[in-house]
Every structure is written in C-alpha cells, then in structure tokens.
Amino acid sequence: MSWSRFALVSLGLGLAAMTLAPQNAAAIVVTDDVILGGIEPSSLALNAEQSDTEIKLFSEKLDHILAADLTLNVGSSPILAGTRVSSYMFHFDALSGNNRNAMGSAMFDNDVLGVIHTTDLLNASDSELGLATTWYTASLRGLEIGSDAFNIEGNMITVNVDFNVNHRYMDEMRVVTRSAIPEPGTALLLGLGLVGAGLIRRKRHA
C-alpha cells in the first residue's frame, strides 16, 4: 500500500473512531423523578441534599484512572487498577416522614461497568471516586434489600432505580461507567492520518 493510501485510510479510521466515541462524559439523560444534581455539593451527609420527591444524580470523578482495584456490588469485580472510568452518585434523602418513594432512570454516555450500593463499599470507594470538595457520611447510606430496587438495561447504558426512604436514612448508589476519553490507539491512528494528509498536501504543492 502506498503512503498516500495508508494516510487516507488512517485518517478515515481515526475520524470514524472519534465520531463513534462519546465526547462529553457528563452527557446524561434522566427521566421521571431523577434529576441532575448540578454543581458539586459541599456535603452529601444525611439532611444535606434533601427532597421528598426527587432522586439527585451527581457527577463525581470523570475520566479518572483507578489507582487501585475497585470492588463492586454488581458487575465484573474488581475493576482493575489503571482502568479509566467515570463515577456518578444517585442520592435520595427525604425531608420528613416515612416511606417516601421516587423512581426514574438515567441514560449514561458510556457502558456501565458496575454498581456500588452497600455502606461498606461506598465508604471504601469514596476516596477513589468521590469529589474532593464533598463531605460523604460513613453511615446511614446505601440501599436496603427488599425496599430498594434497580436494574441495568440490556443496552448497558441505562440504569433504572426505585428507591424508598424515610427521614432517618438515605439511599445512595454509585454507578461506574467506562470513560468517554478515546483509547490511546485511536488517538495515534488519527494522528498518523493527519500527518499523512499533511505530507500528501505538501507533495501536491511541491
């Protein structure tokens, strides 16, 4: 294959891969009672981010390279150190009363690798995936078996939740997705194509 043809093929494959790869790690679509939490909260402790009707979804560390293996409650566990991931937190903390229910879904921009929903594993993953400026509580968090429910749809990007809480505890669930940043091989392929395209243009103008 001639250099010009190789360059054009590389450029085409690189651009195609970049087009297929998600470009915005925070491009999330939510439905029903799930809302986007907005700016980084100063605290996610009990009674800090309350609502009787809304489950808040907060973005945590995005495009983060794991420093250590990450243990999950659901998913292929552990996710190995060195994997690039993004993290999001479902948070439902009732204002008052008992048996507050909210449900909905979130569609992420990349495959869901797993879910963390027990108090011990939420606490263990806070330092790795939690926001440095947010205070996380060490108790009265997580999901309750028989009271709360969730599932990951077959498309592997949509998570449905059905949470029930009272004002004495809160529901939290951390979702870990694949990073939206292209793999190094894709970037290299695109780079080779651009270099080759530059050489072809220069040759044609010689």
- Is residue 92 within 8 Å of 17, Cβ to Cβ? no
Answering whether pTM is above 0.85, one says no
Residue that the structure tokens 């009265």 belong to: 140
Query: Of 9, 15, 18, 16, whose CA–CA distance to 200 is shortest?
Result: 9
Summarize pLDDT for 99-133 with one digit per residue, the tens: 899 999 999 999 999 999 999 999 999 999 999 99
Query: 71-88: per-residue pLDDT in tens?
Result: 999 999 999 999 999 999
